[in-house]
């Protein structure tokens, strides 16, 4: 059997089942985006990695090295933020074609440093090698106090499901990357959505507020798409979920971009991925305080998009009062 038939998550499950020594100081290991490691202090050590590979994850014609550096750091920070953690140190593993211009690398590091500094973390080391394609593999360490950690597994029945910011913009931006236009409104939309796609801003301040209030029950970042990432919460929490399509925060620009490219905006929001928003669950009576605190301090809207239900009910999306199955699928890195 080939890995493409098994798929990314199938392969991860297979690897997980095969490893016999998971390490008894691990709170979360293989299968989660972030490893959570017990230490001698009252903080857990967090470790995650995420790669940007030329022609697979980006094309040089559509992203500047400065943007690419920012993006590589941002998507890693997003994973740490989704646990309530604080990023601390990066290692940068770089694969470079020999003919790469030194100036390109200068710009790449400037972008990485900007995104790292903004998060309070520093670049601590790494590794450089020759490679036929440009490759940036970021390893990020972080920390979180024991009582502030939020994982995927705590969602309770009747909890509401909330999301920061708006959905579908990452995928809409990707669809507009190589479109040429002279229409002024379309140019403004394209500019906005491309920026959202190319240089997502991780929701670190928002996650800090959510964490501090200690009322959220489960949390994840939206890298693979709402359906896929909500699927992780449901599986880990052994629950089901209902999403209300009409309540999904989809911007006017995303809707116009979807129309322009003959695509369903709802599909972008549910399955598009790369939004790097925070998806979380909380008891109903806590929701108003959570929304208010995040928006008051950061300006970022927080929207109720659904409800946690029993695992027997599975995952559904309600469109015009009719339930449809919500497939826990999104971006498969091996498909």
Member of 59, 60, 125, 325 binding a copy of itself (CB under 8 A): 125
Structure tokens at 21: 């020594």
23: left (phi over 0), alpha (psi -120 to 50) or beta: left
Q: Which stretch binds a copy of itself (CB under 8 A): 64-72, 110-118, 149-157, 281-289?
A: 110-118
DSSP of 182-198: --HHHHHHHHHHHHHHH
Distances (CA, A) of 301 to 69, 126, 203: 27, 37, 12
> Please, which residue, 32 or 275, has the CB nearer to a copy of itself?
32
Q: Which stretch binds a copy of itself (CB under 8 A): 9-17, 201-209, 214-222, 226-234?
A: 9-17
Q: Which stretch binds a copy of itself (CB under 8 A): 34-42, 160-168, 194-202, 305-313?
A: 34-42
Within 69-98, the residues that bind a copy of itself by CB under 8 A are 88-89, 91, 93, 95-96, 98
Member of 53, 148, 286, 318 binding a copy of itself (CB under 8 A): 53
Q: Which residues are bridge partners to 164 per DSSP?
A: 302
Assess 313 for contact with a copy of itself (CB under 8 A).
no
| CA atoms 147, 277, 58, 120: torsion sign | negative
Q: What is the length of the chain?
A: 335
Treating both helix axes as pointing N-terminal to C-terminal, what angle do 169-176 and 184-198 enclose, rounded to 10 degrees?
A: 120
Report the relative pairing of strands 26-28 and 278-282 from DSSP bridges. Answer: unpaired
10 Å Cβ neighbour count for 148? 17
From residue 256 to residue 295, the character string flagging contacts with a copy of itself as x (rule: CB under 8 A) and all else as - is ----------------------------------------
Assess 146 for contact with a copy of itself (CB under 8 A).
no
The whole-angstrom separation of Cα 187 and Cα 322 is 36
Q: How far is the CB of 87 from a copy of itself (least distance, A)?
A: 12
Member of 101, 147, 285, 321 binding a copy of itself (CB under 8 A): 101
Member of 63, 80, 115, 135 binding a copy of itself (CB under 8 A): 135
Within 207-246, the residues that bind a copy of itself by CB under 8 A are none
Assess 113 for contact with a copy of itself (CB under 8 A).
yes
Q: How far is the CB of 130 from a copy of itself (least distance, A)?
A: 5
Query: How many residues belong to the site for a copy of itself (CB under 8 A)?
Result: 78
CA atoms within 13 A of residue 216's CA, in its CB half-sphere: 35
């Amino acid at each position: 059997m080939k890995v493409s038939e098994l798929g990314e998550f199938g392969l991860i499950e297979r690897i997980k089942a095969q490893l016999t020594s998971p390490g008894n100081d691990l709170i979360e290991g293989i299968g989660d985006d972030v490893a959570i490691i017990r230490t001698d202090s009252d903080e857990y050590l967090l470790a995650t990695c995420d790669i940007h590979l030329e022609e697979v994850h980006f094309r040089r014609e559509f992203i500047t090295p400065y943007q690419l550096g920012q993006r590589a750091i941002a998507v890693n920070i997003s994973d740490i933020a989704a646990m309530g953690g604080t990023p601390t140190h990066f290692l940068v593993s770089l694969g470079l074609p020999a003919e790469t211009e030194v100036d390109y690398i200068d710009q790449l590091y400037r972008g990485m440093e900007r995104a790292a500094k903004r998060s309070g973390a520093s670049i601590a080391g790494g590794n450089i090698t020759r490679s036929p394609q440009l490759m940036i593999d970021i390893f990020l360490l972080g920390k979180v106090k024991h009582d502030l950690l939020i994982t995927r597994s705590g969602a309770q029945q009747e909890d509401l499901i909330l999301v920061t910011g708006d959905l579908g913009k990452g995928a809409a931006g990707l669809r507009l990357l190589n479109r040429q236009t002279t229409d002024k409104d379309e140019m403004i939309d394209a500019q906005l959505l491309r920026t959202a796609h190319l240089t997502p801003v991780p929701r670190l301040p928002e996650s800090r507020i959510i964490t501090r209030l200690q009322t959220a029950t489960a949390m994840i970042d939206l890298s693979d798409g709402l359906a896929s990432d909500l699927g992780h919460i449901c599986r880990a929490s052994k629950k089901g979920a209902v999403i209300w399509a009409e309540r999904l925060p989809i911007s006017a620009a995303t809707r116009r971009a979807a129309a322009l490219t003959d695509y369903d905006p709802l599909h972008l929001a549910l399955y598009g991925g790369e939004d790097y928003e925070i998806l979380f669950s909380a008891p109903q009576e806590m929701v108003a305080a959570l929304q208010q605190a995040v928006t008051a301090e950061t300006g970022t809207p927080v929207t109720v998009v659904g409800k946690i239900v029993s695992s027997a009910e599975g995952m559904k999306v309600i469109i015009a009062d009719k339930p449809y199955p919500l497939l826990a699928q999104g971006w498969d890195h091996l498909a």
